[in-house]
Structure 1
Amino acid sequence: MLLSVIKENWRWRHQVWNLAKIDLVKTYRGAALGKVWLFAKPAVYILVFWFALEFGLRSSSDVNGKPFLLWLAAGVFPWFFMSGMITTGSDVYKRYTYLVNRIKFPLSLISTFYTLSLMIVLVCMLAFTVVVAACFGIFPSVYLLQLPLVLALMFVFWVCWSMALSPLSAISRDFANLLKTLGTPFFWLSGILFELDKLPHVARVIMAFNPVAWCAEAVRDCFVYEQWVWADYTSFLPFLAVLVFFVFLAMHNYRRLYMEVPDVI
């Protein structure tokens, strides 16, 4: 089944790319500022969090010799990508019912192009981060070379997340609503606004199996912590285990339920 899905995505790769671009255009169609909104909302969030932590709680400080604002951006930008996958990405068939009801259109492609559309935004945000940091005299290190690998692992994981959970969300409205409630808990419990190293040992062990935490920390490894993501095997190996689990879960649910999805949408 896995090889079949990979072949489908490769055969339809041009359509996937075009649908991802169309999805981005549709998102900001009719807005006078257009693509500016890709950066406006995340930038506002980052500035609000920075202001609250810097002047309100007074709990911000440089991390590994890098400005706290850079550390914050390297976590919040990936979070916006993951937030979209946790909420809409886990119920993506309801968003694209017109494609679900097309007999010859492979359902696996829907998860792929939706994830790709969000990934394009994330890449633009991270590129913007590099440019702004350089303007303030903070230049990328050799560890930024691993960013494509990190983004590739994130892409594969969240595509599998979408493929595994979207069929269940299509069949059960309660399951879809449950997943949408996970956005806030994941945000506050995944180290987006605090350093995971400051947690007790038991909490760090549990957090190692949290894919949201790993994705945010992996991007920070590229920008702030300046270490190879595989060097900390206590977090890298648990993430790989969760990734493999979701690959199998995605293939299992997709094989068993994809024929039923058009009937319940």
Structure 2
Amino acid sequence: MIRTASVLSTIAALLLPSLASASETPWQEIAPGVETRVVGAGTITAGETQVALELRMPSEMHTYWRIPGETGLAPEFALSEGGATIKFIHWPHPEVATISGYVDYIYRGAVMVPMTVSVPEGVTGLSLAVQLGICSEVCMPVMADFDLALDGLADPGNALRIRQALADEPILWDGATPPVELEAYDAETNALTLRVQDPAIEVSSMLVSVADGEPLFGPASKAGDLITVEILDAGRPDLLGTEINIDFDTSNGPYRYRTRLSTD
């Protein structure tokens, strides 16, 4: 279960000359104290390349995960021109935060969101439009447009940073035993009870979700080896049989475990 990194590639990238890179856009200030840009790995392999949106925010400010929560604004990414498409967005594991009584899934400070992009032959650049919600005491929608050149030349420094950011995306649990077990699902009280099976799980980091984002789930509350997670949308029909994602952090990085809600 331990993730491994390419030590040699890391050392090699760090030893490269510190030169300006063509595989990155200039920083843009999109809110007071908040800057963003797009960086790329440079190479195109089997019609795909890796890019990432990079954000720098003060610690008191935040933006949102793919499912923003009760009050947030879901991020939007769109490519235009040339037929390039976003194949995957590799969302880092977010924080489950209760802010002014509402539950949101957020990122604070510095964050990088990698993307795998399909690139048709002959495309020499990407035009990416981004819309985000940026919040401190008040929230505001912000938009930014980026033009990133694609010359097919490797950018080892940014490629390394993107690989490091990919390690923050939960990977599917492949252990011999489940990390948690569904102890009970109560449709009347709108709550899940889970039993912790693996002591490496950082319960405070646990996030329960479904693929389409609805309903929303609250933060995990632990008592002994039992965890209670409230289902926030009380008007949602019975979720029996619904597949849920249980994401959590460990000392080896974040993982995702999938199971279906049942009363067994």
Q: TM-score range by the shorter chain?
A: under 0.3
Q: With CA pairs under 8 Å and 6+ residues apart, which has the higher RCO, 1 or 2? A: 1
Q: Decide which structure has the larger Cα Rg and report it.
A: 2
Structure richer in helix, relative to its length: 1
TM (normalized to structure 2)?
Answer: 0.26
- Give the strand-richer structure, 1 or 2: 2
